[in-house]
Amino acid sequence: LEVAFVWNRSSGRLTELPEELRLSGEDLSVCLRAATARKVDVVVEVAHPAISAALAAPLLRAGVDFVVGSPTALAAVGTERAMREASASAESGGLYIPSGALWGAADLQSLSNRGGLAALTVTMKKHPASFRLTDAVLDAKREAALQAGGGEVVLYEGPVRGLCPLAPNNVNTMAAAALAASSLGFDGAVGRLVADASLVTHEIEIDARGPKRADGSQFSCVTRRSSPAPPGAVTSKATYGSFLESLVRARGRGKGLHMV
């Protein structure tokens, strides 16, 4: 991999990079121009869902692959539609969704594609200091969990679509799961966000269930991922490694949306 440029709103964040790689400022069109002029193969967003919402579609239409590091962006119906449409033609770039902390993304996608997924619940548990919330009610619950010093406090339980704008930096795993489970999507997949001040790990549980059969039996699979993370950490170190592996795989798959 060779880096063509790095953009950040603040130029002060880029001082350690060679000058020829630095792009900054409020005008995101500089990224579009640089991607075309420097003939980049793939653009990777690791900043904020709003950046993917602004850049993905025009870059995809220009034939540039795009990695959505903040897949909570696709919880907005218009944004998901724009990205999917922009990646649909033969000349389009591919739209890549990194698995991140999502264990078994390919299995969820396969199960969903063949009609074998009836329900999906993703539970994420973290120390209260690790959450970055935009909703006052959820943040009050988070603060109560912090003051309690231990014990689980459920901040949210419901459709993943409703949670993504409330915790856009914390629930990318849930968004990736909703995209992998396309038969359920953001409205059918359930997210549970739990704060627990005793945790020194990020805990993620994926509970997938198939349709009930005539005899009452049902396929089910539950996976649990426990990744060390100090209080205040939004992402565990293990997830950074997973993201890098996704980046290496994000190439050459052509048009459409791809889980990597």
Query: Closest Cα to residue 74, out of 187, 203, 156?
Result: 187
d(CA 99, CA 109): 11
Are 239 and 98 within 8 A, CB to CB?
no
- Cβ neighbour number for residue 188 with a 10 Å cutoff: 18
- pLDDT tens string, the chain, 260 residues long: the values are 899 999 999 999 999 999 999 999 999 999 999 999 999 999 999 999 999 999 999 999 999 999 999 999 999 999 999 999 999 999 999 999 999 899 999 999 999 999 999 999 999 999 999 999 999 999 999 999 999 999 999 999 999 999 999 999 999 999 999 999 999 999 999 999 999 999 999 999 999 999 999 999 999 999 999 999 999 999 998 888 899 999 999 988 999 999 99
Query: Closest Cα to residue 139, out of 181, 167, 119?
Result: 167
Tell if the pTM clears 0.85, that is, is over it: yes
DSSP label at 49?
H
d(CA 95, CA 85): 10
For 88, how many CA atoms within 13 A lie in the half-sphere containing its CB? 7
Using CA atoms, how far residue 18 sits from 2, 23, 27, 29, 68, in Å, is 13, 11, 21, 21, 25
Query: Closest Cα to residue 103, out of 253, 206, 209, 240?
Result: 206
SS3 state of residue 243: helix
